[in-house]
Amino acid sequence: MDMTTRLEKLKRSLQTPALKRFRHRFLSPRLWLRGMVFWGGSIGVGLAAVLFALGAEKAEHYHRLLLGLSPYLPLLITPLGLAGVTWVTRRYFVGSQGSGIPQTIAALDSAQIRDRVLSLRIAFGKIMLTLVGLSCGASVGREGPTVQVGAAIMHSLGRLVRFSRVQSANGLILAGGAAGVAAAFNTPLAGIVFAIEEMSRSSFQHRTNGTILTGVILAGITSMAILGNHPYFGQTSASLPFDQAWIAVVLCGGACGLLGGLFARLLIAMSRGLPGRPGELARAHPVAFAAACGFVLALIGLISGSTVYGTGYTEARHILEASEQLPAEYGVLKFLATLVSYASGIPGGIFAPSLAVGAGFGLNLAEIMPYAPVGAVVLLAMVAYFAGVVQAPITAFVIVMEMTDNHDMVMPLMATALIATAVSRLVCPRPLYRTLAERFLTASPPPPAKGPTPEKKAP
């Protein structure tokens, strides 16, 4: 057999279906390029989340410095700050207002608005305006905005290397949002659960599993490598004896689930427009309305002893670890401060403030349950209120469990989250983020038609 015949035989042997599939999956330069871009994007999401977290800490630090000069300064700074952020948002970064999770869900449902709400420009505006809001004392979080930022980064990279339509529409956006949650909270498991349970209630596909896992792992590793693996709300060894746990579970789940559902119901109602004169002011003069919200927020801050500003991480940690005394009405005041901040229309989320509100209510509930450890009741109240707001029970208990590094409370946390979600649905039958996403789609104007505009005929 001559050399030519042998080469022909070897060439035919390399054309088998199995080898073709192998080459397509593992040796294709284009697939390797896509993989490298995706991996780099996931790391980029983690870096963006880390920078966002560090920026938020600095913003809150600057606001505390202002409070150190005078607790009355927010009466001037907060109205001006919220008005300025609202003006910039409406002028240059339309689509960055609010949490960012409804926009991401809406982008999954509608291809027409993806490029408008998941652009790098919107992501930049989301980060910067949220930080300005925090420096002015707004009661907002950075976790929801990080979801939109992560989705925007991955979506933009998908357009750059021309991922397939299915990947671009589902896998990349979901992976970016999940990676944002994982890196923002420093909780990788919560990112995966949130993507499945909340962001993609009706659109999750089996083929996106690996994409989401890869994005979450890379973003989570990036976040932990820079910030370390530390729980945001501190640590507590509190646990509940079995004979007492059911009382605290039922009470916290019922009461805080009801309050969380009420908060969600109010946010949904505000998205449709406020009634009376406030609604007229918000529609006709949104910047002036934001200033009014800032003034109300500053008054709430004065009543609370300047404890309701910012994300609420510090206050919740103090409550959980009993390291500092907070006002008994902290939960109610933080509830109102977050509601007013969201109503102003500035960019900012509700994740961290909701957990802080739950911690405040837990402090109140602990007073009527002296037989139960305060730390355990606070944990149950945090997961109950958060589950009541977002109606995503698995996400709620996973976030609290991972963020407090307490695995002894897994079963009580799970039961509390389920009870709170059920009670919340009695007050707010529709999930918050899904409803806001539908509202966003309805309110968004259609994209401008492409091509030359036909000339009007002279009369």
pLDDT tens per residue, range 362-384:
999 999 888 888 888 999 999 99
Over residues 392-399, mean pLDDT: 84
Q: What is the mean pLDDT of the chain?
A: 82
Give 145's DSSP letter.
H
Indicate if the alpha-carbon torsion angle 409, 411, 414, 420 is positive or negative: negative
Task: Give CA–CA dist 85/307, Å, rounded.
Answer: 22
Does pLDDT of 459 surpass 60? no
CB 140 within 8 A of CB 118: no
Instruction: Please give the pLDDT value at position 287.
Output: 94
Report pLDDT digits (tens) over 82-132: 999 999 999 999 888 888 889 988 888 877 888 888 889 999 999 999 999
Indicate if the alpha-carbon torsion angle 256, 262, 267, 268 is positive or negative: positive
Task: Give CA–CA dist 445/356, Å, rounded.
Answer: 35
Over residues 344-372, mean pLDDT: 91
Q: Which amino acid is at 327?
A: P
Q: Is 349 helix (H, G, I), strand (E, B) or coil?
A: strand
Q: Copy the structure tokens of residue 159.
A: 């357009």
Q: Copy the structure tokens of residue 409.
A: 């409370």
Residue 395, strand partner residues: none
Residue for token pair 């109010």: 266
- Better-predicted residue by pLDDT, 154 or 329: 329
Instruction: Please give the pLDDT value at position 230.
Output: 60
CB 431 within 8 A of CB 260: no
pTM for this one? 0.85
Q: What percent of the chain has pLDDT over 90?
A: 40
The pLDDT-based confidence of 18 (bands split at 50, 70, 90) is: low
Instruction: Please give the pLDDT value at position 41.
Output: 78
Q: What is the CB-side half-sphere exposure of residue 444 using CA atoms within 13 A? A: 25
Task: Give CA–CA dist 178/392, Å, rounded.
Answer: 14
Q: Copy the structure tokens of residue 328.
A: 């008994």
Q: Copy the structure tokens of residue 457.
A: 């005929």
CATH class of the domain comprising 39-227: mainly alpha
The pLDDT-based confidence of 450 (bands split at 50, 70, 90) is: very low
Instruction: Please give the pLDDT value at position 21.
Output: 57
Strands in 229-296 per DSSP E: none
C-alpha radius of gyration, the chain, whole number:
24
Domain 242-442, CATH homologous superfamily name and number: Clc chloride channel (1.10.3080.10)
Give 456's DSSP letter.
P
Task: Give CA–CA dist 335/338, Å, rounded.
Answer: 5
Report pLDDT digits (tens) over 125-141: 999 999 999 999 999 99
Instruction: Please give the pLDDT value at position 264.
Output: 95
- Better-predicted residue by pLDDT, 359 or 184: 359
The length of the chain in residues reads 459
Which part of the chain is CATH 1.10.3080.10?
Answer: 39-227, 242-442
DSSP string of 66-134, one letter each residue? HHHH-TTTHHHHHHHHHHHHHHHHHHH-TT--B-SHHHHHHHHH-TTSHHHHSSHHHHHHHHHHHHHHH
CB 158 within 8 A of CB 186: no
CB 189 within 8 A of CB 398: yes
Task: Give CA–CA dist 34/398, Å, rounded.
Answer: 31
Instruction: Please give the pLDDT value at position 44.
Output: 83
At a CB cut-off of 8 Å and minimum separation 6, what does 355 contact? 233, 312, 316, 382, 385, 386, 399, 400, 403
Over residues 193-211, mean pLDDT: 59
Secondary structure tally for the chain: helices H, strands E: 22, 0
CB 256 within 8 A of CB 427: no
